[in-house]
Structure 1
Amino acid sequence: MKGFLTFASEAEIVALWGAACIAVALVALIMERRRSKRTSIDNVGWVPWTGLFLTFAVLGGALLVVSIPAVIRG
């Protein structure tokens, strides 16, 4: 992995960051679904999962859209 990152272009690194943001967004989506299906209505969480999901999904999507043409070209 170290050798890959050494020779990776900037577009590939941006694509990796975009994929990581999408992964974090999916985790936030799962946690929001888990919170909405809780049995005890009094246990309200303090983490804004919906806001985190939207932030990371938009950021990850933007990073992927910017980097995909350069990654395809090589």
Structure 2
Amino acid sequence: MSFEHFLTFASEAETVGLWGGGLLALALVAGFFERRRLKRNAIDQVGWMPWFAISFVCLIIGAGLIALAIKGMAAG
């Protein structure tokens, strides 16, 4: 089954699960960049992107969406 076929006939719970997985992946990327920002060599070059806030918000929303998707898939 191709991914396009899966997306066409996916239930709402599966779609919410995909969004949650995408947000968790974004949280991992933002967490990596936050760690990179904290370990920088030049202490004066802080940067302007709030990586911690991005990773925290994506983690909370993504985990909530995954929990709802699991509940929806279990219900049928």
TM-score norm. by structure 2 comes to: 0.92
Provide the alpha-carbon RMSD of the alignment.
1.0
Residues in 1 aligned to 2:8 and 2:51: alpha-carbon distance in whole angstroms? 34
Count the aligned residue pairs: 74
Q: Does 1:28 align with 2:2?
A: no
After superposing on structure 2, the runs of 4+ consecutive aligned residues of structure 1 that deviate more than 3 Å are: none
Residue 11 of structure 2 is matched in structure 1 by 9
Residues in 2 aligned to 1:5 and 1:73: alpha-carbon distance in whole angstroms? 20
Residues in 2 aligned to 1:56 and 1:8: alpha-carbon distance in whole angstroms? 23
For structure 2, the 5+ residue unaligned runs are none
The alpha carbon displacement at 1:73 in A equals 4.5
Identity %: 47
TM-score norm. by structure 1 comes to: 0.94
